[in-house]
């Protein structure tokens, strides 16, 4: 069920009404409704995968209960590795089995042999990368005695399957979301209104910005060999805003929907394209994933505590794993390696923690140093997005080669794709300006002219057709 579909527009008000009709003292009934709604939401794609999420829930619930008991360290470690093996095993099978099989066959051929392989027709369960990491954080935190396991299975099932963030995040920690599910909740109008504002802003990002850019991105990347340098650069620029509007839009809708049910999810994006270096970019982009890798991979590996070499190695591991997390393709691994290459010089010069505040915090405009730093960072991110979007690494390099060839014949070539291309550039410029002026908040519907801004955004949503030809969110494939 897509957030930008008529199905969800009917589903959400019904669940919302039923949820708040249940008295807050009947917490278990409220949580049972969340589970039922979440399983309906998830089963809308393919009901067969409900057994998968239920199995994962049961395993981690049982492991969590047994980790609480005073047992030898070796027994507790065995339980932890059981949880890791089950969750990562399911993820590897459904997402990476054919990738490993095909690459094994290619490696065998490289050394002069030949092996016949047969790929399986495996359907990737929507959101498996997200809820797998979410449940893993629960068992790992219990093992480290940072969290007490719950004995309430319904509450735990609601935590694992909570429908607003189930299929594309944010990847919630049990330490944040589970206590909210276990505690009685009361309807707060201001929280619900704020949630609605976030939903509207998220839909605007997805439908008006991302889906409009998608038309050009698909056309340019599919025909990149015949495109001139300006068009190729424009295609990469459009993809940067397609993936940002698509993914941050989903996160805004998820966070806003959760607030309708009296719960607060972690922020997943914080205006990443205003970052002054790559380190700041990763503190502002897909925050729930980057902090997950920091807490459960980078720090356990030793972080940068032991030596500069260890820090270098651990950063490289985190970026490579982060790239591979996105999909079974060498392009994602290369994308991760490229960001490691951008990040490591900052780490070696001890400048990776330099830009922790909001850019131009007390000023209307950035100074020239900040502007150049933001431009440089965005340009590096843009190069990375070409590899992220390309089908193969070779295609990405050819795409870059086309850009640097400086072939500008038919400068306005991109206009032949769709008649309203200039309007899209104006729209993205307007979007950047809006984001700049709201960079201290979550959405534009604060302060003066709130009603006018709200009407304007709703008008653009309606004219773009919010509930017609709903397009999938990019991160559903991950």
Residue positions counted in the chain: 478
Q: What is the DSSP letter of 283?
A: H
Q: How many CB atoms lie within 10 A of CB 321?
A: 14
Taking every pair of C-alpha atoms in the chain, what is the biggest distance, in angstroms?
73
Instruction: Report the alpha-carbon distance of residue 355 to residue 346 in Å, rounded.
Output: 11
Contacts with 316 (C-beta within 8 Å, 6 or more apart), sequence order: 337, 340, 344
Give me the active site residues, please: 326
Instruction: Report the alpha-carbon distance of residue 316 to residue 341 in Å, rounded.
Output: 8
Contacts with 235 (C-beta within 8 Å, 6 or more apart), sequence order: 216, 217, 220, 221, 224, 227, 414
Taking alpha carbons only, the member of 285, 301, 299 closest to residue 339 is 285
Q: Give the CA distances from residue 309 to residues 280, 291, 303, in Å, rounded to whole numbers and listed in that order.
A: 22, 21, 10
Q: What is the DSSP string of 287-346?
A: HHHHHHHIIIIITTTTTTSS-HHHHHHHHHHHHHHHHHHT-SSHHHHHHHHHHHHHHHHH
Instruction: Report the alpha-carbon distance of residue 161 to residue 177 in Å, rounded.
Output: 11
Instruction: Report the alpha-carbon distance of residue 201 to residue 14 in Å, rounded.
Output: 22
Instruction: Report the alpha-carbon distance of residue 81 to residue 284 in Å, rounded.
Output: 31
Mark residue 303 as left, alpha or beta (left: phi above 0; alpha: psi -120 to 50; beta: remaining). left
Instruction: Report the alpha-carbon distance of residue 340 to residue 387 in Å, rounded.
Output: 14
- Cα distance between the two ends of the chain: 16
């Amino acid at each position: 069920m897509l957030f930008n579909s008529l199905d969800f527009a009917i589903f959400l008000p019904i669940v919302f009404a039923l949820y708040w009709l249940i008295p807050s003292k009947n917490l278990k009934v409220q949580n049972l409704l969340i589970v039922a709604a979440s399983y309906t939401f998830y089963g809308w794609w393919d009901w067969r995968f409900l057994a998968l999420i239920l199995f994962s829930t049961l395993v981690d619930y049982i492991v969590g209960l047994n980790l609480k008991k005073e047992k030898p360290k070796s027994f507790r470690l065995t339980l932890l590795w059981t949880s890791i093996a089950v969750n990562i095993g399911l993820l590897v099978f459904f997402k990476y089995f054919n990738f490993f099989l095909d690459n094994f066959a290619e490696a065998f051929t490289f050394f002069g042999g030949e092996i016949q392989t047969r790929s399986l027709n495996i359907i990737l369960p929507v959101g498996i990368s997200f809820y797998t990491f979410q449940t893993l954080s629960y068992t790992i935190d219990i093992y480290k005695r940072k969290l007490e396991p719950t004995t309430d299975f319904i509450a735990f099932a609601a935590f694992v399957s909570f429908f607003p963030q189930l299929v594309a995040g944010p990847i919630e920690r049990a330490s944040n979301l589970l206590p909210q599910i276990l505690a009685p909740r009361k309807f707060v109008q201001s929280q619900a209104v704020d949630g609605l504002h976030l939903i509207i802003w998220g839909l605007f990002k997805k439908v008006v910005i991302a889906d409009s850019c998608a038309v050009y991105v698909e056309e340019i990347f599919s025909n990149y060999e015949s495109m001139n340098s300006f068009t190729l650069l424009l295609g990469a620029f459009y993809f940067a805003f397609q993936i940002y509007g698509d993914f941050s839009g989903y996160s805004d809708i998820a966070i806003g929907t959760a607030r309708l049910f009296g719960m607060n999810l972690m922020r997943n994006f914080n205006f990443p394209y205003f970052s002054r270096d790559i380190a700041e970019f990763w503190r502002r982009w897909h925050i729930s994933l980057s902090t997950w890798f920091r807490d459960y991979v980078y720090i356990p590996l030793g972080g940068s505590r032991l030596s500069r070499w260890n820090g270098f190695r651990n950063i490289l591991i985190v970026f490579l794993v982060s790239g591979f997390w996105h999909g079974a393709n060498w392009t994602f691994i290369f994308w991760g390696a490229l960001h490691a290459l951008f990040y490591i010089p900052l780490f070696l010069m001890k400048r990776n923690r330099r830009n922790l505040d909001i850019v131009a915090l007390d000023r209307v405009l950035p100074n020239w140093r900040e502007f150049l730093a933001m431009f440089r960072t965005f340009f590096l991110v843009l190069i990375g997005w070409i590899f992220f979007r390309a089908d193969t690494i070779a295609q990405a390099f050819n795409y870059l080669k086309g850009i640097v060839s400086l072939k500008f014949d038919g400068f306005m070539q991109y206009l032949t794709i769709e008649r309203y291309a200039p309007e899209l550039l104006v729209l993205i410029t307007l979007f950047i300006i809006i984001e700049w002026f709201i960079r201290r908040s979550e959405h534009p519907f604060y302060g003066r002219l709130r009603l006018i801004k709200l009407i304007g955004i709703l008008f653009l949503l309606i004219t773009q057709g919010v509930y017609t030809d709903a397009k999938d969110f990019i991160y559903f494939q991950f």
